[in-house]
A and B are shown apart, each in its own frame.
Chain A
Amino acid sequence: MTLLRISDLKTQFPTPDGIVRAVDTIDLSIGERETLGLIGETGCGKTVLGLTLMRLLQSSTKTEGTIIYKGTNLLKISEAEMRRIRGEEIAMILQNPTTSLNPVMRVGGQIAEAIRLHQGLSKRDAKEKAIEMLDAVRIPSPSIRVNEYPHEFSGGMKQRVMIAMGLACNPSLIIADEPTKGLDVTIKSQIMKLLKEVTEERAMLIITHDLGVARELCDRIALMYAGELVEYATTGEIFEDPLHPYTRGFLGSLPSNGLVPIPGMSPSLINLPDGCRFHPRCGHATELCRRKHPDMIEIEDGHFVRCFHA
């Protein structure tokens, strides 16, 4: 069953230099207990998409389209209703745990905050619950750690705390933004193992630039380029039969796949190229690609591509 359906979603930031089209006409859906990977490079709009879903962007942002979660359009409900959804229904594990945790607040208090707000537990019960959560994300001696401050935790431990905060109110959907960024490889393996367990019981949207992470955790993968989706398919198909030249280029530029770079660089989201947004970097671009913007088409059952030549 579909848990979340995004249709025609647009997020734009007006700036003195022009309108930044960070998220441009995106359609996506996430099923119950499904893990979807949103992959893209720096500045493609993937984090903005996550923040749009949580309605965490500043008020000057222009958002259009619909985000249907369990039958309600999240863009239409009041701020109070949205506050109930955040944390309890949809939780976000933000990028960079070091700056996302409050440095002057005990770790336990930060986890308990959401629990007290949503579940109305007493201070003592919420703390018990926080200890339980720390134990669930395998932090050793949780009853001592709960009283410590973020600076007493290592990078991997802080990421575990972030995950514990996300899980605290048992949400149906978790949005994890770059959950393994900046972690050492052996710690990354530990966090991935933990995330894998988390995904067994709920839906998750993983925003990342790391294909290794996506391959291991996700059921389906959506590739984002310059604000829009360019390919969307099951993880197996993305890796075995990628159709969009950007997906192929992205896979090919991995060191383990031969290190063939994509020439040029991503366009600015203010000044998008005409036609297909990828055409200036694409080896197969034709006159058509320069002139006309391709639509997303379903090539095979459930495999969508935005390319004239796929």
Chain B
Amino acid sequence: MLEVLGLTKYFSSGLIRKRYLRAVDDVSFKIEKGKTLGLVGESGCGKTTIGRLILRLTKPTGGKVLFDGIDLFALNRRELLAIRPRIQMIFQDPDSSLNPRMKIGTSIAEPLKLHGTIPKAKRGQRIRELIETVGLNPEHVNRYPYQLSGGQNQRVVLARILAMNPDLIIADEPTSSLDVSVQAQILNLMKDLQKKFDHTYLFVSHDLDVVRIMADRIAVMYLGRLVEIGETGDIYDCAKHPYTQALLSAATVDGGKERIVLKGETSSPIDMPAGCRFHTRCPRKRERCTIEEPELVEVGRDHYVACHLV
């Protein structure tokens, strides 16, 4: 469904002495139709930028994105407009994704109106269907976003996305601003919708517990690069990269187990360390790691790791 090849994005700053921030650096992955890829990493690792690049909300520096065989970066404005309804995005904060001065019903009608997929007379009917699909009451149509809770607003966002009958949904931390009991409601709804409509998800998150439930495959990013990618089960049971191992030990709630506490913080993406980008924090670094940057190598069936030690 989606194939990302060597995707790269550098942001530049400074006029005379140009400096480059390597937000996304040569990232490749694939997502099969109806499947979910979890994209995991800490703040500033480039995971959100990948989502925005796929939607062409930011201009890429290099690489290719194939959506259903179509090269998204080669499309002109008109072609892009035609394909956009099939790729939708859910943002982190539902309250700021909705226009505060628009009633819920109007917000959901907006994309139907813009893309003119449904005649005006049938729009009301379609909105009621959508509202029901995401588990809201018909009376919510006449409310404003501030009258609903965060969880309900995220349902509205989902309804608006469903209005477009998308194939691919990019979900950027869709539940990070919600309470756990409500988070569970939204995640379950997303899973049900995926089953029903055969959606493909790119699920961006920093929460490994959430990704474990949602994703078929997981890609772990560090400083703009993929460090590990594989089936969810393989990542959780036999993570190979030291960074993935540290993330996993930090995430799990079960007490008792000793945590791997990493030293220091993520280096700046402007002054990237030489060699492996993780070596400054890696508990198992060797001399080679400080000189040579590791490539992704296959360590198991469909399981790739970028580390000199595997």
B206: chain A residues within 8 A (beta carbon): 184-185
Q: Are A254 and B42 in contact (CB under 8 A)?
A: no
Q: Are B261 and A193 in contact (CB under 8 A)?
A: yes
Residues in A237-264 with C-beta less than 8 Å from chain B? 239, 249-250, 253-257, 259-263
Shortest distance in angstroms between A210's beta carbon and chain B's nearest beta carbon?
9
A156: chain B residues within 8 A (beta carbon): 265
A249: chain B residues within 8 A (beta carbon): 181
A155: chain B residues within 8 A (beta carbon): 43
CA of A253 to CA of B184, assembled, Å? 6
Name which residue of chain B comes closest to A214, CB basis: B253
One of B179, B247, B249, B262 near A41 (C-beta < 8 A): B179
Q: Are A265 and B149 in contact (CB under 8 A)?
A: yes
Assess whether A279 is interfacial by the CB under 8 Å rule. Answer: no
B152: chain A residues within 8 A (beta carbon): 265
Assess whether A188 is interfacial by the CB under 8 Å rule. Answer: yes
User: Which of B69-77, B209-217, B225-233, B302-310 sits within the interface?
Assistant: B209-217
Assess whether B31 is interfacial by the CB under 8 Å rule. Answer: no
Name which residue of chain A comes closest to B189, CB basis: A261
Shortest distance in angstroms between A63's beta carbon and chain B's nearest beta carbon?
26
Q: Are B253 and A256 in contact (CB under 8 A)?
A: yes
Residues in B264-298 with C-beta less than 8 Å from chain A? 265-266, 281
Q: Are B246 and A261 in contact (CB under 8 A)?
A: no
Shortest distance in angstroms between A296's beta carbon and chain B's nearest beta carbon?
22
Q: Are A255 and B42 in contact (CB under 8 A)?
A: no
Interface centre among A156, A185, A215 (most CB of B within 10 A): A185
B151: chain A residues within 8 A (beta carbon): 265
Q: Are B262 and A254 in contact (CB under 8 A)?
A: no
What does DSSP make chain B's interface, helix, strand, loop or mixed? helix
Residues in A76-102 with C-beta less than 8 Å from chain B? none
Assess whether B81 is interfacial by the CB under 8 Å rule. Answer: no
CA of A60 to CA of B309, assembled, Å? 62
Shortest Cβ-Cβ A-B pairs, 4 listed: A261-B184, A184-B42, A255-B209, A253-B184
A-B CB contact pairs (8 Å), 11 listed: A184-B43, A186-B42, A186-B261, A189-B259, A190-B261, A193-B261, A209-B179, A211-B253, A239-B255, A255-B213, A256-B254
Assess whether B182 is interfacial by the CB under 8 Å rule. Answer: yes
Name which residue of chain A comes closest to B186, CB basis: A261
Give the total of A residues in contact with B, Cβ under 8 Å.
Answer: 35
Assess whether B207 is interfacial by the CB under 8 Å rule. Answer: yes
CA of A41 to CA of B188, assembled, Å? 19
Name which residue of chain A comes closest to B281, CB basis: A186
Name which residue of chain A comes closest to B45, CB basis: A184
A261: chain B residues within 8 A (beta carbon): 181-185, 188
Shortest distance in angstroms between A60's beta carbon and chain B's nearest beta carbon?
24
Q: Are A253 and B209 in contact (CB under 8 A)?
A: no
Shortest distance in angstroms between A242's beta carbon and chain B's nearest beta carbon?
14
Name which residue of chain A comes closest to B152, CB basis: A265
Shortest distance in angstroms between B193's beta carbon and chain A's nearest beta carbon?
15
B255: chain A residues within 8 A (beta carbon): 215-216, 239
CB-CB contacts of A126-168 with B at 8 A, as 1s and 0s?
0000000000000000000000000000111100000000000
B259: chain A residues within 8 A (beta carbon): 189, 192-193
CA of A97 to CA of B185, assembled, Å? 30
Interface centre among B185, B249, B253, B259 (most CB of A within 10 A): B253
B251: chain A residues within 8 A (beta carbon): 185
Decide: A209 near B180, CB < 8 A? Known: A254-B209, A265-B149: yes
Shortest distance in angstroms between B235's beta carbon and chain A's nearest beta carbon?
15
One of A187, A209, A259, A265 near B188 (C-beta < 8 A): A259
